[in-house]
Amino acid sequence: MPRKKAETEVIEDEQTLEQAQDIPLPEEVPPVPPPPEEPPRPRRARAPKKAEPPGETAVIAAASAELPSEKPPFRPPPRARAAPVLTIEAGGSIETPEDQIEQIWHEIRNALRTRKILTGSLGGMERGEMLLRQSKILGNALGAEIDFIVKGADTKTRSIVASRRDAMLKKRKLFYFDFDAKISKLPRVHAGRIVQARVVAVAEKAVRVEIFGAECAILARDLSYDWIGDARDYYHVGDEILVKILEVRGDSPEDLRVRADVRSIAENAARDNLEKCKVQGKYAGKVTDVRRGSVFLRLGIGVNAIAHTCYDNRMPGKKDDVSFVVTHLDRERNVAMGIITRIIKQNI
């Protein structure tokens, strides 16, 4: 069936061709007009947007009218960087006072954040709610170096609030209650150890020191094997001295008590020097103290001496240079006993 259909189509095409050949051709063929231009396609009209309800539009407009216009934050113009200080030495650098102050305040701000212990000099004291004894101790400690922890800082007024007590408690816990594995599992500060201490106050017969957060007083007799009439002649506020820890008592940083001395560090040469003295020998010495009719001297050969009698009409006083005659040697106390024959020079 499909084959017959194809043959029928071929026969019809041949008949059409024969009929076309019988049609006479015209003499001139008219020109073919150009195809008409297609008119531009009309653009699709977009559907109009849905109108917002008048109530919402009014609310949005009112809200935008009420909101203030956001202004950019004010930024001060950059400060002109000053030229560095011109130094005599090539490539040298010098900090100006302003640079030093900025560096100090940078350290203070870091200490406020990290609770680091700082050290400073006690430069003044004002009256406040403190006991008379505390006020007297602070008065004697003017000029001493003390530790403190910054509790607050005001950069505008350049002032800080600090606590010395917190710093002392922190150091006590670290040096007296934390055991050190390198020293036979003992705390860093323990009885028998020689440590460095700060002199925070000096009186005539005593020196007050601060030993890693703990304060203690050392009497004049514990400062040296030599007789010391006035400790202020040998020690000053701010000095750093070596002391030997004799005893540590207390179960907590708040109850800690420390006892120390200085003379245990030095070698006792009094016995050897006493052998240099001879009975009826005459030696020069300096008066260290006068108490209850007795005159205490330090002879030039390094021996302590006591005189109960003075042949000079004048009364010997502290720091006077005198002539001394030995009458007896007290080997148990390593002291020479004798008489002051005359006053060589008075300390007026």
User: What DSSP string runs through 2-45?
Assistant: HHHHHHHHHHHHHHHHHHHHHSPPPSSPPPPPPPPPPPPPPPPP
269-315 pLDDT, tens digit each: 778 888 888 999 999 999 999 988 899 999 999 899 999 999 999 99
Please answer whether residues 273 and 306 qualify as being in contact, where contact means their C-beta atoms are separated by less than 8 angstroms: no
Q: Considering the chain, what is the average pLDDT of its residues?
A: 80
Most confident of 80-84, 129-133, 254-258, 271-275: 254-258
* Mean of pLDDT values over 67-92: 67
With DSSP H G I counted as helix, E B as strand and the rest as coil, what are the percentages for the chain, rounded to 5? Answer: 25, 30, 45
Is the confidence at residue 178, as pLDDT, over 60?
Answer: yes
C-alpha pair distances (Å), 117 with each of 17, 96, 120, 121: 118, 26, 10, 14
What is the model's pLDDT at position 150? 93
What's the topology of domain 168-261? OB fold (Dihydrolipoamide Acetyltransferase, E2P) (2.40.50)
- Indicate left, alpha or beta for 202 from its phi (over 0: left) and psi (-120 to 50: alpha): beta
Is the confidence at residue 87, as pLDDT, over 60?
Answer: yes
What is the model's pLDDT at position 125? 77
Contacts of 336 (CB under 8 A, 6+ apart): 274, 277, 299, 303, 304, 305, 306, 324, 326, 328, 329, 330
What's the topology of domain 270-345? OB fold (Dihydrolipoamide Acetyltransferase, E2P) (2.40.50)
The tokens describing 200, both together, are: 């925070």
What is the model's pLDDT at position 306? 94
User: Do 168-261 and 270-345 share a fold?
Assistant: yes
User: Could you state, in order of their start, the residue ranges of all structural domains in the chain?
Assistant: 98-122+132-166, 168-261, 270-345
Tally of CA atoms within 13 A in the half-sphere of 176 that contains its CB:
24
318-335 pLDDT, tens digit each: 999 999 999 999 988 889
What is the model's pLDDT at position 259? 96
What is the model's pLDDT at position 176? 94
* Mean of pLDDT values over 62-91: 63
At 225, the pLDDT band (50, 70, 90 cuts) reads confident
Q: How many residues are there in the chain?
A: 348
At 100, the pLDDT band (50, 70, 90 cuts) reads confident
Count of helix runs (H) and strand runs (E) in the chain: 6, 15
What are φ and ψ of residue 7, in 5° steps? -65, -40
What is the DSSP pairing of strand 304-310 with strand 335-345?
Answer: parallel
DSSP state of 83: P
